[in-house]
Amino acid sequence: RDFNERCAQCSEVNWGLTDGGGFYCRSCHNVTERTTEAASTDFVCNSRIQTVSKGLTKQEKAGGGCEWYVCEGFQLILKKQAEALEALGVCPQMKDEVLCNFWRRYLQKTKQAYCNTSAGETVKTLSVCDSSTDVDSEPERPSPLQLLSLSESEGDLQTDSSFASSISKVSESTSVCSGSVDGSLYFMKNRKEKLRMTMPMTLSFCYMALLWLREPMTLSDLLRYVVEGHIPYLNVFQHFPEKMKLYGLDLKIFRVESWPVYEEIYNKMLELAAFLDLPRFPDITDSCFLHPDMLCMKYLMEANLPDELHDWTCRVVKKIRIGEVDFLTLVPGNKSTRNVKYDVLAAAVIVVVLKLLFLLDDHYEWLLSDIAEGRNKNNKEGGLYFEFKKWYKVIKCSLDVKQKKLDEERAKYLWRCEKVLFYSDKKKPKVLKRRQTVVNLQNQFGKLSGSVLPAEKPNPSSFQLRWSEENTDGSCFHGHSLKGVLQEKRGLLTAKNPEYWLCTVKLCNEKKCGHLAHYREVDFPQSYHFIIRLFSFLLRIQPSYIHDEVCVIEHKLFNKKLCKKPRYNTGLRK
């Protein structure tokens, strides 16, 4: 209080004390040569003394940034992702009421915030949510998931100086610098530690929030929006505020150089839901978009298949009881129930229905197609019969074009972000100069070669393949009839095909190999492989996962016959 001189650099009177007894300006972090010999008792009791370790002071002076922690980086990423999802039409309550509570619960469970810990064991992070929660009472906080200032003058972040010094010593001993305060400690934690926050887990958080709200967005849709750039994930750290200096070990934490994997995101979501001790999720009823009947309708439209197939998918769903609420609703930590991948389940139901009607043995479907083609030539007034051969040619042409475009985009993708990254302050000038040289050379070669600028990212859409009945080229099969493959028996429409072949006789132990059935293209008919490949493209997952779900549905559908006759060949059966 007695030191009222103005700062020589910014002319402000806002002084703080370093742990060495010197004065520093809280506004511009300028350190004066004047020191305090002693402090009276009244001064200590009535003033809020904040100490700053020497290591952090040097870092602030050199980098011009502020103290920040790894969890705050992930917090900002979650905020950006939630805002992007809201822009795509997701419920506005997702960020503030759902995702915020999940994140706060995670911080409390991992003892990073909202808990009482001894000094040096953990770091008390910034408050991120409002006070309407069941956790311990906290001081007044700003809006949820809002990155706050980390300046000492606000006093929101109180880190023990000995802990900060220990982090500095770790960085010096390993000769690796870090922009965040606890970047080095992040990698020194036990590798067996459960659910240490990673970039893929941010997507697990988002999907868990979407599932809680029963939003009409599957995990495959979420990952596709990420790849298309509609949801921040790849190089998202370049949107960090300028004061959050990111380099060194931070790059290993926040830098992503691979596409998100469906299975990894899904499994982490299940682990996360169990770890947070979440209750039973809201019921998935027949009116929800995630119900198999709803998703089957969507994928039938996208796969350009006849609308009449939807009646058959509903019959299969009802027959094997996979449309019931208890089967579809997620109960975290319940190992007695099988976890449902809603998009994969719906695609597998369609595949099973196509096998029931067309057999897909590289022979019967072509025979039916020839018969339908002959009837369509003679039928001039009625609706067209569905021709599998014609549908195959149309879909294959479109699928090959889309797959080639996707492969080229992935091959040409530049993982390097626009924001310059450097591993130490010493290397910063050299890295900046090298980047500028590369940009200049690219511009020069681009002008010489006449290369076209990359096209803008497409507008987000729930459908990757679009088909319109207004097309005059006959490429839309939605309104085509299945009369050629159906027959009426006892007042019910049944398939003319009396045979069916099983993908596998016995399911594998998923825990040992990760799959319920082995899938190799050479072991199955080409028609079946084409259908699997089509839905594999639509869902952006490996074909083996759809094949696994097909095998599970088949064993449920023919359970009674399999129990009576346990020995079956994988070929045709009556």
Q: Where are the domains of the chain?
A: 1-34, 68-110+194-278, 292-395+469-558
Considering only CA atoms, which of 233, 235, 298 is closest in space to residue 265? 233
Helix spans in 216-363 (H): 219-228, 249-254, 262-275, 292-302, 309-319, 325-328, 342-358
* Distance (Å) of CA 502 to CA 223, 459, 507, 558: 31, 41, 11, 9
Q: What are the φ and ψ backbone dihedral angles of 448, each rounded to 5 degrees?
A: -70, -40
What is the secondary structure of 219-258 as a DSSP string?
HHHHHHHHHHTSSS-TTGGGGS-TTS---BHHHHHH---S
* Distance (Å) of CA 384 to CA 66, 366, 379, 494: 69, 17, 8, 19
C-alpha dihedral over 199, 201, 207, 208, to 10 degrees?
A: -150
- Predicted TM-score (pTM) of this structure: 0.77
Strands 572-573 and 31-35: unpaired
Apex 240 CA angle, 137 and 421, nearest 5: 140
Rounded Cα gap, residues 320 and 316, in angstroms: 6
Q: Which residues, in sequence order, are CB contacts of 516 under 8 Å at separation 6+?
A: 507, 508, 510, 548, 551, 552
Facing residues of 24 across strands?
A: 16, 31
Return the pLDDT at 158. Answer: 34
Return the pLDDT at 29. Answer: 65
Question: Which helix or strand (DSSP H or E) is residue 573 part of?
Answer: strand 572-573
Rounded Cα gap, residues 298 and 452, in angstroms: 36
Facing residues of 166 across strands?
A: none
Rounded Cα gap, residues 555 and 563, in angstroms: 10
Return the pLDDT at 564. Answer: 57
Contact (Cβ atoms closer than 8 angstroms) between residue 114 and residue 135 = yes
Q: Mean pLDDT, 10 residues at a time, over the chain (574 residues)?
A: 73 73 72 56 39 40 68 94 95 92 93 64 38 36 35 33 41 53 74 78 97 96 94 88 79 88 95 95 95 96 95 96 95 87 97 96 94 86 87 95 91 76 67 80 75 65 83 80 87 86 81 75 93 96 94 89 51 41
Contact (Cβ atoms closer than 8 angstroms) between residue 519 and residue 547 = yes
> Residue 19 corresponds to which tokens in the numbers above?
């742990």
Return the pLDDT at 153. Answer: 29
CA 281 to chain centre: 19
Facing residues of 119 across strands?
A: 122
Burial state string for 321-354 with b = 16 or more CB within 10 A and e = fewer than 16: ebbeeeebbbbbeeeeeeebbbbbbbbbbbbbbb
Is residue 431 packed enough to be buried (19+ CB in 10 Å), middle (13-18) or exposed (0-12)?
Answer: middle
Rounded Cα gap, residues 378 and 232, in angstroms: 55
> Residue 46 corresponds to which tokens in the numbers above?
């009535």
> Residue 297 corresponds to which tokens in the numbers above?
């309708």
